[in-house]
Structure 1
Amino acid sequence: MKIIKADKLVGELSPPPSKSVLHRYIIVSSLAKGISKIENISFSEDIIATIQAMKKLGAKIEQKDNYLLIDGRETFKNLNENIVIDCNESGSTLRFLFPLSIVKENKILFKGRGKLFKRPMTPYFENFEKYKIKYSHVDENEILLEGDLKAGIYEIDGNISSQFITGLLFSLPLLDGESKIIINGKLESSNYVDISLDCLSKFGIKIINNSYHEFIIEGNQSYRAGNYRTEADYSQAAFFLVANAIGSNIKINDLSENSLQGDKKIIDFISEIDNWSSKDTLILDGSETPDIIPILSLKAAVSGKKIEIINVERLRIKESDRLKATVEELSKLNFDLIEKKNSILINSREDFKVNKNEKVVSLSAHSDHRIAMMIAIASTCYDGEILLDNLDCVKKSYPNFWEVFLSLGGKIYEYLGK
């Protein structure tokens, strides 16, 4: 455990590359019949998991300091029996590659850790049973998958995760025959599907999108190699955008104004909060942007305005119960938050009393990178010192976060006791 403290953060930074975009570039490049160059790389634990997984499926990936050379000409050729893919804690790696790993008949053991296999996989299981694809839970951290993916009709509920749709969009163009993905109900996080469709289009794959209700995928398509630069990550930039909105002065470079990333919405959310003058409760819909809800909650809490962030129940199936963790930790810093089943109420209590700041308050990252980074930014508006556990959990998405925090004037030091 370490003490973290900051007054205001001041300086300049470039956010890491978008993890969402980079996962996708690595996978589609590994399917292309040629050599692709992907620039602007951050080797987070999740990205390393996807690189290693595609290597297991036959792709040749050469890692340089800030770019990858990816040759997909041998992918799915000469596969070894009993391949093991370690997804670590990466939901993207698991869900993107689960169907992709069996576009050729195959037997794959998927491994993970933490809460990875507590996150839903039912949409795949229900469809795989229809096509006689075998799967079995070896233990709580391993699933054995055996069979071959078939062209056909796949039905996916839209309110669980768009990652299931992306996994099928990557896989189905490689099969013989036309396929269709039917979305049951409203598709949440449609922006992530937009990123997938954009990536597929760049690499030569055609998908018909019928208003996010269904996707029609022609079979026997071929991925085309290409050279691309990964844009900066709005979900990571969000921490520093909020820091600026609550008093810091950070120049943030490399953000694309034309980005398809849904987490770009943080800019609109900040503006909505700042411009809200009514005594009524401001309602913010978080259904499309689950990753930025913790840091958005901090901005909302600091504003002192009555705010409810709704449609965020999916936060409960992230690396932690992120809804509960956000409320729990910010409440320890004397902010007024109430946890509801599907929302967070902020500054809603007329009789809310602030406890006297302790010199040192003990907080938990809940082994969740986004909670840890939220707490780091929250330290800029807390007079005391914050004792935080598991600082290393940020390696999942932002390996040098604490170095950046220090470069902007933040402090990290050992706790020597009272």
Structure 2
Amino acid sequence: MSSDSISVPGSKSLTNRALLMASLAKGTSHLNNVLQSEDTDVMREALEKMGVALKKTETALTISSTGEWHAPQTPLFLNNAGTAVRFLTAILSHQPFTSHIEGNKRMQERPLRDLLNGLESLGAQIESQNGCPPLTIHGKPLSSNHVVISGNNSSQYVSALLMLAPLLPDGLTITIQNGVSSKPYIDMTLDIMNKFFIQGITRVGYEQFTIPHQPYQPTTLTLEADASSATYFWGLAALNKTTIEVRHLSRKNLQADLKLLEALESMGCRVQETPNGIAVTGPTELHPLGEYNANNFPDGAMTLAVLCAFAKGKTRLKGLHNLRIKESDRLHALATELSKIGAYIQEHDDGLTIEGNPKFLHGATISTYNDHRVAMAFGMAGCRVSDMTIENPDCVKKTYPNFWNDLRMIHKEPTYPHFSHALE
């Protein structure tokens, strides 16, 4: 059995959180192993427009800030970067100036209403397009110290309020209603806040958080590899009965998509912590999962859904209603494209039923919906199924610009996806 090892880029979720906190800290912070991609570029460019000084190398950033932002002279165009839109909206609502946030067509369809309601209850004044971007944020100092927010649609709304909390004069108590989707991202946010010296946080599970007023302080951090990006290579090992190690990750890390590893073990894969990272070995035959709640790792759940089409038997993935408000309606995209390659799929409000059977799967032309994760998940499948063509392959630049080169490097077999046009 062959064995390969790969390094994937730094975590997008960690990069954008650390960028934001570094910009709020008075002094100079150093971030290593940062992700350089479209999503992190728009965050970096927005911060530069507000007077934050950033110096970058290939995998590192130095951020120098006074701890105060200045009014941007032009709108902040954030493309389809959900983390940037949600996190900046919260912080900008507390700034003493008016700002404008814009996004691409899909971003203008992605709801922010739960977050906007929470911010408005604190006294924020924000104009939106039916609860979606574009936004006009009439910033002013906020002084309330308690907010109630619904967390079932996106953990990013909660993370945005957590990062705002220490800036408020009396701190903030955040009470969560209706549960929280993708809970590990909340823990990730709190962990990064601690690394920027935010202390004294108290919590009641995922129901309430209280954060005292205090300043962010500069720091030096080395960010973990991106677990979401790692899932495609672990999935490739699962599909092709090989062993693939992804370096610079540990199961002790807090990234949500590491929870995919538990599902892979249930499907028959062997998962090993190595001195350098995490290795997955694929089984002779993948097992179906029956009923499986993937709410805690929605990005990795897309990788899992594709893998389930190769596991003979029925899997019902649930807890994924929030995939409908991501870069595309990801549940519908998965159902449509998996059906194209011969899988039997039922689409539900909160997930999918997948009748897997690898014997019936075949190549097809895959629409990516300009969604990087659709492209990468089916690119993985195209290394097992012949004659798979990926439309708009360059959409992976959103989070993993070098994905296709890395996939070709690790997968040297003849079966490999085709592209609708030459890569840029």
> Considering the TM-score relative to the shorter chain, is it more than 0.5?
yes
Match of 1:343 among 336, 342, 351: 351
Are the structure 2 counterparts of residues 230 and 176 from structure 1 closer, same or farther at C-alpha, using a change threshold of 3 Å? same
Is the contact between residue 37 and residue 398 of structure 2 (CA under 8 Å) also seen in structure 1? yes
Deviates more, 1:401-410 or 1:372-381: 401-410
Partner of 1:123: 114
Match of 1:310 among 318, 332, 353: 318
Match of 2:307 among 296, 299, 307: 299
Whole-angstrom CA distance in 2 between matches of 1:9 and 1:414: 27
2:254 partner amino acid: L
Q: Are 1:144 and 2:146 counterparts?
A: no
Whole-angstrom CA distance in 2 between matches of 1:205 and 1:141: 30
Q: Are 1:399 and 2:401 counterparts?
A: yes
Are the structure 2 counterparts of residues 414 and 376 from structure 1 closer, same or farther at C-alpha, using a change threshold of 3 Å? closer
Partner of 1:4: none
Whole-angstrom CA distance in 2 between matches of 1:183 and 1:414: 44
Match of 1:100 among 91, 100, 106: 91
Whole-angstrom CA distance in 2 between matches of 1:372 and 1:159: 26
- CA shift, 1:361, in A, is 2.4
Q: Are 1:203 and 2:206 counterparts?
A: no
After superposition, the C-alpha distances for 1:332-377 in whole angstroms (9 at most, x for unaligned) are 111222212212111179xx9948x5xx622211111000001111
Whole-angstrom CA distance in 2 between matches of 1:393 and 1:294: 16
Q: Are 1:374 and 2:368 counterparts?
A: no
Partner of 2:335: 327
Whole-angstrom CA distance in 2 between matches of 1:81 and 1:303: 51
2:114 partner amino acid: P
Whole-angstrom CA distance in 1 between matches of 2:190 and 2:289: 36
Q: Unmatched 5+ residue regions in structure 1?
A: 1-7
Partner of 2:227: 234
Is the contact between residue 205 and residue 223 of structure 1 (CA under 8 Å) also seen in structure 2? yes
Is the contact between residue 37 and residue 69 of structure 1 (CA under 8 Å) also seen in structure 2? yes
Match of 1:179 among 172, 176, 194: 172
Higher relative contact order (CA 8 A, sep 6+): 1
Partner of 2:103: 112
Partner of 2:275: none
Give the share of equivalent positions with the same residue, in percent.
28
| Superposition RMSD in Å | 2.6
Are the structure 2 counterparts of residues 217 and 270 from structure 1 closer, same or farther at C-alpha, using a change threshold of 3 Å? same
| SS of residue paired to 1:306 | strand
- CA shift, 1:224, in A, is 1.4
| SS of residue paired to 2:342 | coil
Whole-angstrom CA distance in 1 between matches of 2:336 and 2:107: 22
Partner of 2:62: 69
- CA shift, 1:196, in A, is 0.6
Partner of 2:42: 49
- CA shift, 1:90, in A, is 0.4
| SS of residue paired to 1:264 | helix
Match of 2:247 among 228, 246, 253: 253
TM (normalized to structure 2)? 0.87
- CA shift, 1:300, in A, is 1.4
Is the contact between residue 57 and residue 101 of structure 1 (CA under 8 Å) also seen in structure 2? no
Q: Please list, as runs of the form range in 1=range in 2, the aligned pairs for 1:84-99 lying within 5 A after superposition.
A: 84-99=75-90
Whole-angstrom CA distance in 2 between matches of 1:199 and 1:81: 26
Is the contact between residue 134 and residue 147 of structure 1 (CA under 8 Å) also seen in structure 2? yes
1:200 partner amino acid: M
Is the contact between residue 83 and residue 107 of structure 1 (CA under 8 Å) also seen in structure 2? no
Whole-angstrom CA distance in 2 between matches of 1:72 and 1:415: 44
Q: Unmatched 5+ residue regions in structure 2?
A: 270-282
- CA shift, 1:27, in A, is 1.0
TM (normalized to structure 1)? 0.88
Are the structure 2 counterparts of residues 179 and 330 from structure 1 closer, same or farther at C-alpha, using a change threshold of 3 Å? same
Partner of 1:194: 187
| SS of residue paired to 2:333 | helix
Whole-angstrom CA distance in 2 between matches of 1:302 and 1:280: 9
Partner of 2:237: 244
- CA shift, 1:264, in A, is 0.3
Is the contact between residue 9 and residue 380 of structure 1 (CA under 8 Å) also seen in structure 2? no
Deviates more, 1:313-322 or 1:335-344: 335-344
After superposition, the C-alpha distances for 1:365-398 in whole angstroms (9 at most, x for unaligned) are 1111000001111112213x12221111101110
After superposition, the C-alpha distances for 1:107-159 in whole angstroms (9 at most, x for unaligned) are 01001113113222112322343344322237975211103233321111120
- CA shift, 1:84, in A, is 2.0
After superposing on structure 2, the runs of 4+ consecutive aligned residues of structure 1 that deviate more than 6 Å are: none
| SS of residue paired to 1:37 | strand
- CA shift, 1:81, in A, is 6.1
Q: Are 1:25 and 2:18 counterparts?
A: yes
Are the structure 2 counterparts of residues 319 and 181 from structure 1 closer, same or farther at C-alpha, using a change threshold of 3 Å? same
| SS of residue paired to 2:128 | strand
1:263 partner amino acid: D
Whole-angstrom CA distance in 2 between matches of 1:52 and 1:192: 24
Are the structure 2 counterparts of residues 280 and 273 from structure 1 closer, same or farther at C-alpha, using a change threshold of 3 Å? closer
Partner of 2:265: 271
Are the structure 2 counterparts of residues 280 and 256 from structure 1 closer, same or farther at C-alpha, using a change threshold of 3 Å? closer
1:259 partner amino acid: N
2:110 partner amino acid: R
How many residue pairs are counted as aligned between the two chains?
399
Match of 2:368 among 365, 369, 379: 365
After superposition, the C-alpha distances for 1:1-37 in whole angstroms (9 at most, x for unaligned) are xxxxxxx997431011111111111111111121111
Is the contact between residue 259 and residue 296 of structure 2 (CA under 8 Å) also seen in structure 1? no
Is the contact between residue 18 and residue 233 of structure 1 (CA under 8 Å) also seen in structure 2? yes
